[in-house]
């Protein structure tokens, strides 16, 4: 999955021959999963049509502050457009547009939106060789960088003038690669490896029956997706669950039993920076597993159980520098039991759920948690969607490494 997936992007197009490349660029943004709004300068319409770009972006193309042919038309609110965006890319950025960006010469919708933008701004210069190397252009580059804007360097090759040299707008594929690399390098968990457990475990009674629980795995999968979105390399060890992964940064390891999950966790644990035990692991398993299906005969049936290995406690025992997070699902004496678990299992943080809270627990889209850290600082949270809870958990990890 591209880091551009879900991003809200404004593509600003100014009037240069390289504008013809923006049709391919919009297509690549959409393919990466981004949402795109296009703003064109009036001059850029001589090189590529708004119809082409609106068709590809699946959004109306903006060019003027209002439609002069419709006296009842609403104005295109440049502030609203700017606040909508997660990032703004101006490509091609001509010498004229660069100068306007530097000096605040706000004579069109594109520059007005740029001046209102609070998001990251990238610009891809496109002009002839001598223009590209002119001191005024170089001064524009320098000023825009000081403003915090990011240049997507021009490439060398044949130019519209017939000359060959530096000044060609970067090819659409290279613009996408540049943006993905730049965004990835700034992600808060870039370079971190996180182990996450998810879902239930099934403990076999015979070839047909098992002991299990109602965990769907959603909380663990949401944490994994959020961690990958923040740049982490994720190892997700999951018991039986209908959820899957689409992000290439997530390695999914499927297990069934508590012992399989124990073995998988210990296989990867030494190489990770963080471990989050979100799985609902069985505490007990049948002492003997029948080879054949057990036939119904007697009025009662006694099943002898034995303890499973405590995965979280075993990880706490061998913990070195890992940031170890556990989950606790309680029905009574929640805070006291969670504190005991922190001490007993050598945890850095526990995520407490209570089945007393409406909206919390298994197989629900929401969760209501309380954070308790190893110093017993308690932070109750509001009822939230599990995706938001996952973000809260990952923010705890980010804060730990930023401290």
Residue by residue, pLDDT tens for the chain (403 residues) are 788 999 999 999 999 999 999 999 999 999 999 999 999 999 999 999 999 999 999 999 999 876 665 555 556 688 899 999 999 999 999 999 999 999 999 999 999 999 999 999 999 999 999 999 999 999 999 999 999 999 999 999 888 878 788 889 999 999 999 999 999 999 999 999 999 999 999 999 999 999 999 999 999 999 999 999 999 999 999 999 999 998 889 999 999 999 999 999 999 999 999 999 999 999 999 999 999 998 887 778 889 999 999 999 999 999 999 999 999 887 778 899 999 999 999 999 999 987 776 766 666 788 889 999 999 999 999 999 999 999 999 999 999 998 7
- Whether 213 is catalytic is yes
Residue pair 260/181 in contact (Cβ under 8 Å)? The answer is no
Backbone phi, then psi, for 75, in 5-degree steps?
-80, 150
Backbone region of residue 165 per phi and psi (left: phi > 0; alpha: psi in -120 to 50; beta: other values): left
pLDDT of residue 359: 65
Nearest to 328 by CA among 290, 291, 364, 280: 280
Domains annotated for the chain, with CATH where assigned, are 8-185 (3.40.50.1950), 193-402 (3.40.50.10300)
Nearest to 338 by CA among 362, 310, 329: 329
Query: Out of 96, 174, 213, 337, which one is annotated catalytic?
Result: 213
Nearest to 178 by CA among 224, 120, 229, 110: 120
Residue pair 275/269 in contact (Cβ under 8 Å)? The answer is yes
Please give the Cα distance from 225 to 66 (Å, whole number): 41
Relative to beta strand 305-307, strand 87-93 is: unpaired
pLDDT of residue 206: 93
* Lookup result for tokens 């597993």: 289
CA 384 to mean position of chain CA atoms: 18
Greatest alpha-carbon span in the chain: 94
């Amino acid at each position: 999955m591209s880091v551009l997936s879900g991003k809200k992007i404004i593509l600003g197009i100014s009037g240069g021959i390289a504008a013809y490349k923006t049709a391919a660029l919009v297509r690549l943004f959409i393919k990466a999963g981004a949402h795109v709004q296009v703003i064109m300068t009036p001059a850029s319409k001589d090189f590529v049509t708004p119809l082409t770009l609106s068709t590809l972006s699946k959004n109306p193309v903006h060019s003027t502050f209002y439609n002069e042919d419709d006296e009842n038309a609403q104005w295109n609110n440049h502030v609203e457009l700017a606040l909508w965006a997660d990032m703004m890319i101006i490509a091609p950025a001509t010498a004229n547009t660069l100068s306007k960006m530097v000096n605040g010469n706000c004579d069109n919708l594109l520059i007005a939106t740029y001046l209102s933008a609070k998001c990251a701004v990238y610009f891809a210069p496109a002009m002839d060789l001598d223009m590209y190397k002119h001191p005024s252009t170089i001064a524009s580059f320098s000023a825009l960088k000081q403003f915090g804007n990011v240049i997507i360097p021009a490439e060398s090759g044949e130019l519209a003038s017939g000359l060959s040299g530096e000044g060609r707008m970067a090819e659409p594929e290279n613009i996408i690669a540049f943006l993905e690399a730049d965004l990835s390098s700034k992600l808060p968990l870039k370079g971190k490896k996180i182990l996450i457990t998810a879902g239930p475990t099934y403990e076999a009674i015979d070839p047909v029956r098992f002991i299990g629980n109602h965990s769907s795995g959603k909380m663990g999968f949401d944490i994994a997706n959020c961690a990958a979105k923040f740049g982490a390399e994720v190892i997700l060890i999951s018991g039986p669950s209908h959820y899957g992964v689409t992000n290439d940064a997530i390695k999914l390891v499927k297990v069934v039993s508590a012992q399989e999950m124990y073995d998988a966790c210990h296989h990867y644990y030494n190489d990770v920076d963080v471990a989050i035990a979100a799985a609902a692991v069985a505490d007990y398993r049948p002492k003997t597993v029948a080879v054949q299906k057990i036939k119904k005969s007697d009025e009662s049936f006694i099943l002898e159980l034995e303890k499973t290995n405590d995965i979280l406690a075993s990880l706490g025992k061998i913990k070195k520098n890992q940031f170890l997070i556990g989950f606790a699902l309680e029905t009574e004496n929640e805070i006291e039991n969670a504190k005991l678990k922190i001490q007993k299992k050598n945890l850095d943080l526990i995520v407490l759920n209570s089945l007393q809270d409406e909206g919390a627990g298994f197989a629900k889209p929401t969760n209501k948690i309380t954070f308790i850290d190893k110093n017993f600082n308690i932070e109750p949270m509001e009822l939230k969607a599990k995706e938001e809870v996952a973000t809260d958990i990952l923010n705890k990890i980010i804060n730990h490494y930023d401290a």
